[in-house]
Amino acid sequence: MTLRLGDTAPDFQAETTSGPIGFHDWLGDGWGVLFSHPRDFTPVCTTELGYVARLEPEFEQRGVKAIGLSIDPVTSHQGWLADIKETQGHAVNFPIIADPDRKVADLYGMIHPAHDEVYTVRTVFVIDPRKKIRLFITYPQTTGRNFDEILRVIDSLQLTDGHRVATPVVPAVTDEEARAKFPRGWRALKPYLRLTPQPGRPEPEEARAATR
C-alpha cells in the first residue's frame, strides 16, 4: 500500500519495549512520530535514538509521542537500549516496536527492496490527533535523520492548524478575518504576503511597526 499525506495512519497491534500496544489506542488524541531503524546494535541507529531520547522533553512539550521500530525482537531491543543509555547518556523512555515478521514495516512501506531486501530504511511519519499522516520522510540506511527538523515541522503544522497561518498568513484569510485573528496586526509586503507576529510568542521588534 502506498501511503500519502492526509491518509489515515494504518492501525496495528505490536510488541514493543513497553509491552503490547494497539497503535491508535496508544496514540490517543495527541500527535505521534513513528520512525524506523534498520537494525539494533548499529552505529547510526544508536546515535540517532540517543538524540531522540535527549529531545523527549521537546516532544512532550508539543504533545507528541515518539515510537521507534526495528525488525529485531524485543529481547534484542532491551539489550540495545542499555547500550544507548550507556554510550549516549540518555535513556530511551518511549517504546520501540519489535517487528520480526515485518508486519508494520510492510504496512508503512518501510522496506525498500532495491535498497535492502531485509531491513527497513529510515522513515519518519508525523501523525496528527485525527490519525492523519501529515509528513513522511525517507532516508537511506547510512544517513541519520535530523530530528530538530522534525520538531520544526511539527511546530509549523501545529501553528498552521491552530491559527490558519502558513508562516506567513495564508492567502485565503481576508483582511477582515485577519483583523479578528491577529489583533497585533500584520505587515503586507504584497497583498499575498502578510507578516504577523507568531501567535502566543512575544512580539519581535520588527513586527511592532505592523499596520492595523
Among 3, 10, 18, 42, binds ligand BEZ (CB under 6 A): 42
Which segment (42-50, 70-78, 101-109, 165-173) binds ligand BEZ by CB under 6 A?
42-50
* Backbone angle region of 6, left / alpha / beta, with phi > 0 → left and psi within -120 to 50 → alpha: left
How many CB atoms within 10 Å of residue 53?
20
Least Å from the CB of residue 125 to ligand BEZ: 19
**Which amino acid, residue 205?**
E
Choose among 204, 164, 158: nearest CA to 184. 204
Which one, 30 or 140, has the nearer CB to ligand BEZ? 140
Q: How far is the CB of 37 from ligand BEZ (least distance, A)?
A: 7
Active site residue 122: no
Among 8, 75, 78, 142, binds ligand BEZ (CB under 6 A): 142
Q: Which of 14, 33, 34, 45 is catalytic?
A: 45
Task: Estimate the crossing angle of helix 43-54 against helix 147-163, to 10 degrees.
Answer: 40
DSSP calls for 155-206:
HHHHHHHHHSBSSSB-TTS-HHHHHHH-TT-BEEEETTEEE-PPTTSPPPGG
Amino acid at 192: Y
| Total chain residues near ligand BEZ (CB under 6 A) | 8
**Distance in Å, CB of 122 to ligand BEZ, minimum:** 8
Site string for ligand BEZ, 166-205 (x = CB under 6 A): ----------------------------------------
- Contact region for ligand BEZ (CB under 6 A) — 3-11, 38-46, 55-63, 198-206? 38-46
**End-to-end CA separation in angstroms for the chain:** 49
Does residue 143 touch ligand BEZ according to CB under 6 A? no
DSSP H helical segments within 34-98, as ranges?
43-54, 56-61, 74-88
Chain positions contacting ligand BEZ, by CB under 6 A: 38-39, 42-45, 141-142
